[in-house]
Amino acid sequence: MAQRRIDLVLDSVKRLLRIGATANLLNLLQKQHPADLAQLFSELSDRDREAAFSILADRNGRLAMEAVSELGPEAGASLLGTRSAEDIARLAQEVPSDDAAALIDYLPEDLSTAVLDLMRPKESGVVENLLEYDEQTAGRIMNPNVFALSEDITVGEAISELQGSRDVEMVFYLYVVDERRHLVGVVSLRRLLLVSPETPLKRIMTSELISARVDTDQEEVARQVASYNLLAIPVVDPENKLVGIITVDDVIDVIKDEATEDILRLAGVSGDERVFSTPLDSLRLRFPWLAINLGTAFLAASVVALFERTISQLTILAVFMPIVAGMGGNAATQTLTVIVRGIALGELTWSNARKALFKEVIVGVGNGLATGIIAALVVWLFRGEPIIGALLGVAMVFNLFVAATAGTLIPLGLQAIKIDPALASTVFITTFTDVAGFASFLGLASLYLRLSGKVV
């Protein structure tokens, strides 16, 4: 729905809440798509959101819960947590078990235990099983309610089974299992329509199929679904028994989450933070990065301290030294980001790393020369200091070379030792360029002072 329509509905919801027109409000909310409701909820104030959710949850639990699922587990659980355990247990049974598990996982521990105790034994068992898989694995995000056909039936029998099934997710691929539920093949719904009803399913199924194991990392699942253009991927246990299905809409969520994590980490923000995390959470999540940065900043400052005498003789150095460091920092951020994204998209691997390094060094030195010459000219023309300008230019070329090398090798090195290369964030990489920038510029200047006989 376009933002304009959302805004109109939002205004009506606020107005109806204010005048207490519950019946009209319920009517309006019930006409919305769950995704639009989620958008509405996220734009309401805390009080209005809880009031609107409460009205909807009492009368149309399924729609309310679909909207909560669309909000994402963290925001969804925080909205759901405003209700009693009894209510939550009832509502949780309105959505597929994977969505319920994701929400319950984010509730405060007391509440989630109470909810699981109150749910119907079968339902809570399924949810508890899902919660036993590690976070960010296929097992955690799969829907265990998967439709499967026996390999020994005919196409006609398969169609009748399909007609009798309800509430199963995504029946576009039909998975085929043997008598012990081992995954043995797949057949598309369309293919069923193209052959006569007597054909044995075995004859038309494809037995080469791509599946994920319960412990496969969700990022790897997303990569497979995306690169093979799948609509869903079956999930099997270590014995190859079919235990669930992951559909492409879940994969889209994973792709978005992983991109968000990369973007945030590169900037020195925890991948868990969101724009409306509480101030206290954000403060706590960002402080360690800033503390590390403070440490590296003192490291860079101690390099400057080595040259305090040089600066006291030539104060103009203090004016231009931030330029060398800043340009290096920006160039390093450029290189780092291109490299980290290349790794994430699978375009950059060890086998072509040398090519990438070679390219980055050319780009770094090239841009170092271009900006260094401009900087030197500016200092010469506007400050009348040709020598200082030349020192600045040379230091910039050197520092952009360091930026290119560090920006390429550090994330590749982290990847090699299986640490997320996005953690080589700006915070760490700029340590190198700060130190190299200050050391080269001030070092060259003190060498110049010494050689020109201005200091002994």
User: Of the ranges 87-95, 103-111, 148-156, 364-372, which one interacts with a copy of itself (CB under 8 A)?
Assistant: 364-372
Tokens 């460091």 belong to residue:
325
CB of 239 to a copy of itself, least distance (A): 20
Q: Starting at the earlier edge strand, list the strands of the sheet with 183-188.
A: 148-150, 173-177, 183-188
Kindly tell me which of 23 and 362 has the beta carbon lying closer to a copy of itself.
362
* Structure letter (DSSP) for residue 452: T
The answer to whether 423 contacts a copy of itself (rule: CB under 8 A) is: no
Question: In one letter, which amino acid is 201?
Answer: L
DSSP-based three-state secondary structure for 174: strand
Give residues with Cβ within 8 angstroms of 245, minimum separation 6. Answer: 142, 143, 146, 169, 170, 175, 232, 233, 234, 235
**Contact status, residue 53 vs residue 79, Cβ threshold 8 Å:** yes
Q: In the complex with a copy of itself, which residue's Cβ is closer, 23 or 318? A: 318
Return the range that interacts with a copy of itself (CB under 8 A); candidates 91-99, 109-117, 294-302, 446-454.
Answer: 294-302
For a copy of itself, the binding residues in 320-349 under the rule CB under 8 A are: 320-323, 325-327, 329-331, 333-334, 336-342, 345-349
Contact region with a copy of itself (CB under 8 A), list: 30-38, 79-87, 97-105, 234-242: 30-38
Angle at 113 between CA 112 and CA 119, to 5 degrees: 85
Residue closer to a copy of itself, measured from CB, 163 or 452: 163
Rule CB under 8 A: is residue 355 a binding residue for a copy of itself?
Answer: yes
Which of positions 424-453 make contact with a copy of itself (CB under 8 A)? Answer: 426-427, 430, 434, 438
CB of 5 to a copy of itself, least distance (A): 12
273 near a copy of itself, judged by CB under 8 A = yes
Beta pairing, strands 212-213 & 148-150: unpaired
CA–chain centroid gap for 46, Å, is 26
Q: Is 291 in the site for a copy of itself (CB under 8 A)?
A: yes
Q: Encoding tokens for residue 368?
A: 């170092």
Is the CB of 189 or the CB of 447 nearer to a copy of itself? Answer: 189
For 340, list phi and psi in degrees, rounded to 5: -60, -40
Of 21 and 378, which CB lies nearer to a copy of itself in the complex structure?
A: 378
Interface with a copy of itself includes 419 (CB under 8 A)?
Answer: no
Cα angle 44, 48, 52 (rounded to 5 degrees) comes to 100
How far apart (Å, rounded) are the C-alpha atoms in residues 212 and 270? 28
Q: Which of 23, 362, 381, 447 binds a copy of itself (CB under 8 A)?
A: 362
- Sign of the dihedral through C-alpha 177, 178, 183, 189: negative
Strand partners, 235: 212, 244
Q: Look up residue 199 and give its DSSP letter.
A: S
- Under rule CB under 8 A, which residues in 44-83 are in contact with a copy of itself? 70
Q: Which of residues 166-225 bind a copy of itself (CB under 8 A)?
A: 171-172, 189-190, 193-194, 225
118 makes contact with a copy of itself (CB under 8 A) = no
Choosing from 23, 132, 287, 450, the residue that interacts with a copy of itself (CB under 8 A) is 287
Structural tokens at position 287: 């402080």
Nearer to a copy of itself, 124 or 371 (CB): 371
* Gap between the Cα atoms of 395 and 436, Å rounded: 9
Of 119 and 356, the one with the shorter C-beta distance to a copy of itself is 356
Determine which residue in the list 128, 282, 443, 449 makes contact with a copy of itself, applying CB under 8 A.
282
Cβ of residue 86: shortest distance to a copy of itself, in angstroms?
29
Q: Which of 262, 186, 277, 177 is nearest to 222 (CA)?
A: 262
111 vs 297, which CB is nearer to a copy of itself?
A: 297
Among 115, 141, 183, 375, binds a copy of itself (CB under 8 A): 375
Which residues 216-255 are close enough to bind a copy of itself by CB under 8 A?
225-229, 231, 248-249, 251-253, 255
One-letter amino acid of 66? E
- Name which of 193, 202, 427 is nearest 295 in CA terms: 427
Classified as helix, coil or strand, 149 is strand
Q: Does 377 bind a copy of itself (CB under 8 A)?
A: no
Nearer to a copy of itself, 84 or 227 (CB): 227
